[in-house]
Amino acid sequence: MSVAVESKALMPPDITARKRKQLIVCLTAYTTPIARLVDRHCDVVLVGDSVGMVLHGLPSTLGVTLDMMIMHGKAVRRGLERALMVVDMPFGSYEEGREQAFRNAARLMAETGCAAVKLEGGEAMAETIRFLTGRGIPVMAHVGLTPQSVNVFGGYKVQGRGEDGDGILRDAVAVAEAGAFALVLEKVAEPLARRITAEVTIPTIGIGASAACDGQILVVDDILGMFTGFRPKFVKRYAELGLAADAAIAAYAADVREGRFPAAEHLYADLSKAGEVA
């Protein structure tokens, strides 16, 4: 299923059309420099509300605001040329009702330039998804472990083991029928994720789900190893930049304390003095 990377900007219908045809590569991004890096390799770039934990040091995603998502969305938009940009709707910005959801989703799209929004929830959100998509707002859905409901789940636990699997399947079918163009399955037991992928008509994007999903997404800071000591089971580390950065900062601090930095090559000569060469 490996194919050449397309050069044109991708849109939600392009992602939907890849169901069972081409695996979908997705990563998060929160800044312009990272967006420029991932744009060359990814089909979907998600400005996730995980930014609250990754960049702002929050204990969960619940403290993320719409203004924060807009700020980071604008930054990511500046770094993208090809990948489809999706922005998370933060907790409290859409659950009240479909009119609230439309108002805030429209603001996200207008101010960030994103092509779609993502919201969490299954059957309970189906009416909202249908309302948004019917008014020109493409929606990526998200079921299974939904981090904005972490207090209800009692932690970041695997979903879909035992009897609750049928409920997650109903959630997946409901959001697909409501018009979502793709579906994130987070921390869902592998057999259930495989079954959902086979039964729904839209692409599934796994994060701790199944290799049978139509695509995969991870937090970019996780795959780069920016956090030393934090290693979820579903994450594969492709680099250890956190350790490298720690070593570099330690070397800089040692050079400053020992008087080795700055050296002569880091200083500027006074060119007003005759015969002086920079």
**Amino acid residing at 121:** G
First to last CA, the chain: 56
Q: Is 14 annotated as a binding residue?
A: no
Q: Is 149 annotated as a binding residue?
A: no
Q: Is 210 annotated as a binding residue?
A: no
**Does 186 qualify as catalytic in the annotation?**
yes
Q: Is 2 annotated as a binding residue?
A: no
**62-81 burial string, b = 16+ CB within 10 Å, else e?**
bebebebbbebbbbbbebbe
Give the number of other Cβ atoms within 10 Å of residue 22's Cβ.
18
Annotated catalytic residue within 95, 186, 258, 265: 186
Segments of 198-266 assigned E as strands: 204-207, 215-218
Q: Is 221 annotated as a binding residue?
A: no
Q: Who's near 124: CB < 8 A, 6+ residues apart?
A: none
Q: Who's near 101: CB < 8 A, 6+ residues apart?
A: 89, 93, 94, 95, 119, 128, 131, 132
Give the number of other Cβ atoms within 10 Å of residue 221's Cβ.
23
| Diameter of the chain measured on Cα atoms | 85
Q: Annotated binding site for 3-methyl-2-oxobutanoate, which residues?
A: 49-50, 88, 118
Annotated binding site: 49-50, 88, 118, 120
Instruction: List active site positions.
Output: 186
Cite the annotated binding site for Mg(2+) by residue number: 49, 88, 120
